[in-house]
């Protein structure tokens, strides 16, 4: 499993990385200080399966949102988050998919890494209820429809992603910019109710439609 740890405090990041590697030698961990550095490390490719973000020193949630827009399928884990309704909801709205509390230990962190990559979230009943209340306060949310309708361009992008092409390769194949391809991938994941490119690839490969894109312009 390839993991990036984002922490302003290098000693903390190194301690977490060393503890995790001692627990699981199969982990491949890269330590960065901020999201700009992480963005450069992931430029043009998804190099990681998960990003762990230290929230104990304060965090620019706008930077998290910007990174999340570029990497919609990459799970983000909030490390050291205080399990309070306002903080959990705020971080969830920014793009985090799971969290580990300040009082949780290494075993819990390692378990959450595996759960996050698998698309699972475990939280207390109280926090689950608070998230439901937050959704209610924010008004109705569109529920992705299984097999949601794709535009012709999205259909082309989806089929090329299913062939394991990177965003850069899809962009070159269709004559688009890489940022446009990222936008299409994000839209496709939302319409199908999926979290990762891997899930999209599996869905497309089991789809009954032909695998060759139509190549019809939008």
The string of pLDDT tens digits covering residues 157-191 is 988 888 888 888 899 989 988 888 888 888 888 78
φ, ψ of residue 29 to 5 degrees: the values are: -120, 135
Nearest to 198 by CA among 117, 100, 122: 117
Contacts of 61 (CB under 8 A, 6+ apart): 90, 91, 94
Q: 98-101 and 76-81 as β-strands: parallel, antiparallel, unpaired?
A: parallel
* CB contact at 8 A, 3 and 28: yes
Average pLDDT, stretch 143-168?
77
Predicted confidence at residue 207, as pLDDT, reads 57
Predicted confidence at residue 54, as pLDDT, reads 92
Task: State what percent of residues in the chain have pLDDT above 70.
Answer: 83
How far apart CA 135 and CA 213 sit, in angstroms, is: 37
Lowest mean pLDDT among 29-38, 47-56, 93-102, 147-156: 147-156
> With a threshold of 0.85, does the pTM exceed it?
no
Task: Count Cβ atoms below 10 Å from residue 32 Cβ, excluding itself.
Answer: 19
Q: How many residues does the chain have?
A: 218
Predicted confidence at residue 43, as pLDDT, reads 62
* CB contact at 8 A, 52 and 104: no
The confidence band for 14, taking pLDDT boundaries of 50, 70 and 90, is very high
List the structure tokens of 135: 């959704």
Nearest to 99 by CA among 137, 91, 199: 91
């Amino acid at each position: 499993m390839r993991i990036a740890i984002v922490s302003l405090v290098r000693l903390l990041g190194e301690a977490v990385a060393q503890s995790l590697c001692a627990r699981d030698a199969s982990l491949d961990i890269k330590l960065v200080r901020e999201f700009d550095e992480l963005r450069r490390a992931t430029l043009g490719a998804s190099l990681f399966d998960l990003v762990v973000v230290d929230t104990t020193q304060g965090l620019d949630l706008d930077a998290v949102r910007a990174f999340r827009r570029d990497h919609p399928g990459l799970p983000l884990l909030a490390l050291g988050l205080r399990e309070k309704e306002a903080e959990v909801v705020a971080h969830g709205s920014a793009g985090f998919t799971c969290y580990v509390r300040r009082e949780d230990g290494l075993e819990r962190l390692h378990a959450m890494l595996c759960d996050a990559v698998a698309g699972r979230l475990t939280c207390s009943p109280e926090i689950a209820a608070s998230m439901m209340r937050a959704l209610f306060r924010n008004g109705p949310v569109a529920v992705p429809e299984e097999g949601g309708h794709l535009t012709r361009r999205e259909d082309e992008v989806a089929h090329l992603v299913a062939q394991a092409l990177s965003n850069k390769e899809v962009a070159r194949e269709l004559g688009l910019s890489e940022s446009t391809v990222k936008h299409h991938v994000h839209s496709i994941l939302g319409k199908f109710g999926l979290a990762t490119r891997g899930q999209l690839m599996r869905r497309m490969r089991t789809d009954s439609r032909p695998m060759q894109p139509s190549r019809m312009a939008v």
